Structure 1
Amino acid sequence: MLLFSQMITDYWKSQFLNGDIIYSDKDFTVTINPDLNEDSRIMVLETSDGRVMAVLTPEMAEKLDLSQRQELSELVFRQKLNEAGVTLHGADYLFYFSEAEKNVLLQENQEGTWRPLTEQDDAVFSEFESSASEQDLDDAYVELDHWAVFGSFEQNRLVCAASMYPWEEDAQIADLGVLTLSSFRGKGHARKVVRSICKYAFEQGYEPQYRCQLDNEASTFLAKAAGLTLFGKWDVISPDCTVGETE
C-alpha cells in the first residue's frame, strides 16, 4: 500500500514529470516543461527516499545550457544554477498524513477547548492577532477569512489558531498555517488544532498539506507530533531572481 494517498503522489508527479524528460536515473530526474508559470520556472523536489527531481522552462534550460545529450547529477545541476546566477527561494519541508495515520485521525473522537472559527469570531481573532508578533503572523499566515479556520481557547481567550486554503484550483490539497501565542506554547494547543482542522479537511475531500522552512525546528516537531509524515523538501526559484524572466 502507498505510504501517502494516490492524490498526493499523482499531484507531485504531475508537477515534475510533465513535459520533456531530458535526464533520468535512479537518483535524479530533470524535466523541461513550457507550461510552468514565471514564479515556478525552476522547481526542485527531494522526496524523503532521497530522490531528486527538477523541472524548468525551456528558457531556463537554455540559460543553464542543458541538453539531452549530457550526463547530469544533482550536484552538476546545482553548479549550473550557481554559474547562471540563479538563486532559489529556500526549501520548505512538505508534510502529509500517511494513509495509516489518516485512518487513525478520521476515527478520532475530538472534544476539547478547540472549535471552528467563523466571521462571528472577528473580535476574539483580532485580539489574538494583536497579541502575536508581526514576524509570527507573517510566518504562520493564519487568516480568519481562509477556507477553514480552527482555534483553541484558554479561559475564553483564543490562544492558538490554524487556517487552511486550497493550494491550487485543480488539486484537492489544503495548505495549512498554525500559530500559538508565545506564552501558551508547549501545552498541546497546536497539536489538537492541527489534528482537528486536518480531520475537517479530509471530511471535505481535501488532503492537508503542512509546510515549514528547514530551520524551523518547532514547526517540524509540531508536524510530527500531530501525526504528519515528511514527504520531501520542495524549492522554487527566488522571487528576487531575474534570470530567465520574460519581458
Structure 2
Amino acid sequence: MTKFAFPHVTFADCVYNYWLPGNNRTQPGTYRVIVDAELPSARSVMLLDLCGAGGFLSLSPDIAQRTGLELDNEITTDKLFETLQRTGVELNGADHLFYLPSAEQNRIQNEHFPATIRQLTLDDTAAFETFFSAAPKDDLDEAFVELDHWLVFGCFIEDRLVSVASMYPWKGTSFADLGVITLPHFRGHGFGRQIVRAISAQALKQGFEPQYRCQQNNISSIRLAEASGFSLFANWDVIKLDED
C-alpha cells in the first residue's frame, strides 16, 4: 500500500493497512465515502480524519441510503456535517489516535527501565485495589485500566503502586489499546512516561502494535502520549448510539 504522507513520520504497515482503504487520497477538508456492509452497528458511521490529509467517511449500506451518499463520493467537511444533521445521525465525539513511529519503536525496544517498574500479575491484587481506591473517579472513567487485562505494568514507589498502565487486544486486531493512570500526588515525575514506554516495549516484543487513544480535550493525556514517543495519526469518531 502507498503510505499517506505524514510529516516526518512513518508508522508500522499494520496501521496503514487497517485504517486506510486502498490508495485513494483526499485533500484536507474533504472526505471520501466508503460503503461497507460489514460495519457493526456500533460503527455504522465512522469518520477518520487523517493528519495532514483528508479523511474517510465509512457508512453501512442503510445509512448510506438515508444520506444519499454513494461509494467514492467526495464530500467537504461542511457538507458532511450538514448531511449527518439532516438525517439525524449524531457522532459520539472524536478520539485522537496515536501510534509509535517506526523509528521510535526501535528505540523503545532497546530501552532499559528502572526496577521500580514491572509487569503486574494477580499476586498484585491488594496493591492494585489500594491504587484503584485512591485514583480519581474521572481518571477511572476516562482510562480503562484493569488488573485482568492482557498486559499490565505498574510503578512502585516505596512499595506503593502509584502508576498503572494496561493493554488489551483491540477489536480483533493486532493493536494493543493502552490506558494509563498515575495518582495525582505522584504526577510530574515522569512515572507515566516510563510506564507507557515499558508496557509498549513489551507489547511490541509480543507482536502487538501499541495504540494510544484519548479524547481531544484531554490535554494531559495528549501531552503524555507525545512525551512517551507517540505521534498523532488521525482523529476517529463513530456514531453515537441510543442509550435506551
> Is the TM value for this pair above 0.5?
yes
Q: 1:190 to 1:63 in 2, by over 3 A?
A: same
How far residue 138 of structure 1 moved from its aligned partner, in angstroms, is 1.4
Asked if 1:77 corresponds to 2:80, the answer is yes
> For residue 55 of structure 1, what is the aligned residue in structure 2?
58
Q: Pick one of 226, 229, 234 that aligns with 1:227.
A: 229
Query: Structure 2, unaligned stretches of length 5 or more?
Result: 4-8
> For residue 128 of structure 1, what is the aligned residue in structure 2?
131
> How large is the RMSD of aligned CA atoms in angstroms?
2.1
> For residue 141 of structure 1, what is the aligned residue in structure 2?
144
State the percentage of identical aligned residues. 41
**Aligned pairs, how many?**
235
How far residue 133 of structure 1 moved from its aligned partner, in angstroms, is 2.1
How far residue 70 of structure 1 moved from its aligned partner, in angstroms, is 6.6
How far residue 108 of structure 1 moved from its aligned partner, in angstroms, is 1.1
Q: 1:160 to 1:61 in 2, by over 3 A?
A: same
Alpha-carbon displacement from aligned partner over 1:104-141 (angstroms, at most 9, x marks no partner): 11111222311100000000000000101222111111
Q: How does 1:70-109 map to 2 (within 5 A)?
A: 72-109=75-112
2:188 & 2:57 partners in 1: Cα distance?
Answer: 38
Q: 1:68 to 1:185 in 2, by over 3 A?
A: closer
Q: 1:53 to 1:225 in 2, by over 3 A?
A: same
Matched to 1:158, the amino acid is: L
> For residue 245 of structure 1, what is the aligned residue in structure 2?
none
Q: 1:158 to 1:82 in 2, by over 3 A?
A: same
How far residue 62 of structure 1 moved from its aligned partner, in angstroms, is 1.4
> For residue 4 of structure 1, what is the aligned residue in structure 2?
11
Matched to 2:68, the amino acid is: D
Q: 1:131 to 1:36 in 2, by over 3 A?
A: same
Q: 1:180 to 1:66 in 2, by over 3 A?
A: same
Matched to 1:162, the amino acid is: A
How far residue 43 of structure 1 moved from its aligned partner, in angstroms, is 0.2
Structure 1 window deviating more from structure 2 (176-185 vs 132-141): it is: 132-141
Matched to 2:123, the amino acid is: Q
> For residue 32 of structure 1, what is the aligned residue in structure 2?
35
> For residue 194 of structure 2, what is the aligned residue in structure 1?
192
How far residue 168 of structure 1 moved from its aligned partner, in angstroms, is 2.1
Q: Pick one of 114, 117, 131 that aligns with 1:114.
A: 117
Alpha-carbon displacement from aligned partner over 1:13-48 (angstroms, at most 9, x marks no partner): 2xxx38xxxx97444211111110100000001111
How far residue 69 of structure 1 moved from its aligned partner, in angstroms, is 9.6
1:218 & 1:209 partners in 2: Cα distance?
Answer: 17
Q: In the alignment, is the contact (CA less than 8 A) between 2:33 and 2:70 conserved in 1?
A: no
Q: Pick one of 140, 150, 154 that aligns with 2:153.
A: 150
1:192 & 1:204 partners in 2: Cα distance?
Answer: 19
Q: Pick one of 150, 161, 165 that aligns with 1:162.
A: 165
Q: Pick one of 177, 180, 186 that aligns with 2:179.
A: 177
1:114 & 1:68 partners in 2: Cα distance?
Answer: 49
How far residue 103 of structure 1 moved from its aligned partner, in angstroms, is 0.8
Q: 1:24 to 1:201 in 2, by over 3 A?
A: closer
Matched to 1:142, the amino acid is: V
1:24 & 1:110 partners in 2: Cα distance?
Answer: 40
1:68 & 1:226 partners in 2: Cα distance?
Answer: 38
Q: In the alignment, is the contact (CA less than 8 A) between 2:32 and 2:56 conserved in 1?
A: yes
Q: In the alignment, is the contact (CA less than 8 A) between 1:90 and 1:235 conserved in 2?
A: yes
